[in-house]
Structure 1
Amino acid sequence: MRCYRRLPDISYKDHTTNEEVSRRIENAIGPHVDLLTIVRQRKLKWYRHTTRSSGLAKTIMQGAVNGGRRRGRQKKRWEDNIREWTGLELRNTLRKVEDREEWKAVVRRSSAAPRRIPDR
């Protein structure tokens, strides 16, 4: 949002809601795809690319490291994002990745950003 506020020159001190900032940007440049949606699509596409390959990226992504994780709230992993966005278990995504058209449908379905309804 900080970058979005810089485009129309809105200071962070101004009491302008995020929805208003988005509305001003959309009026200025027209309809656009949300940045988080683009990131989600690209991550899912890269997941398919690395999963189908046999390189180092696949080994790192799917490999298991010996030992435990640190205490406290755990950081999100790639697998967590893929599971959350697609709603599928990892073993099911590995099967769906093999079929290009099916994976494209999964990416389309999971990267559709729901529109937030502003609280009033």
Structure 2
Amino acid sequence: MEMRCYRKILHISYKDHVTNEEVRAKIQQAIGPHEDLLTIVKRRNLQWYGHVSRSSGLAKTILEGTVKGGRRQGGQRQRWEDNIREWSGLEFGKSLRVVEN
């Protein structure tokens, strides 16, 4: 996903035989030092999680999974709290206590 964005910024088609290393070097020259796209997305998601978990609204109720209802048909989907657990290295309950402090 990140390389696709970089190629669009630089107007490089996939038909052009340009390696990913060359694309990264050109991006480095064009915009200078920068964070990876995935790092930015993870950081912003964790910031939003902290914001919502400190509030007391509908978003927090939905995030905690206390809404009544059944489950959908099909395979198990990745949940928001699974990402939080993976990125922060803390269990969901512990991360809620850390955010509130």
Q: Which has the higher helix share?
A: 2
Q: What TM-score, normalized to structure 1?
A: 0.72
Change (3 A) 1:78 1:12: same
Once the two structures are superposed, residues 36-86 of structure 1 have per-residue CA deviations (whole angstroms, 9 ceiling, x without a partner) of: 2111111101101110110111011112343234323x3322111101111
Question: Secondary structure at the residue paired with 1:37?
Answer: helix
Q: Indicate the residue corresponding to 1:110 in structure 2.
A: none
The runs of 5 or more residues in structure 1 that have no matched partner are 100-120
Aligned partners of 2:80 and 2:33: how far apart in 1? 29
Question: Secondary structure at the residue paired with 1:10?
Answer: coil
Q: Indicate the residue corresponding to 1:97 in structure 2.
A: 99
Aligned partner of 1:71 among 45, 69, 74: 74
Aligned partners of 1:2 and 1:88: how far apart in 2? 32
Q: Which amino acid aligns with 1:33?
A: E
1:21-100 equivalence runs, <5 A: 21-64=23-66, 65-72=68-75, 74-99=76-101
Q: Which amino acid aligns with 1:38?
A: I
Change (3 A) 1:21 1:48: same
Aligned partners of 2:55 and 2:4: how far apart in 1? 37
Q: Which amino acid aligns with 1:53?
A: S
The runs of 5 or more residues in structure 2 that have no matched partner are none
Matched, 1:17 2:16: no
Total equivalences in the alignment: 98
Q: Which amino acid aligns with 1:16?
A: V
Which structure is higher in RCO with an 8 Å CA cutoff and minimum separation 6? Answer: 1
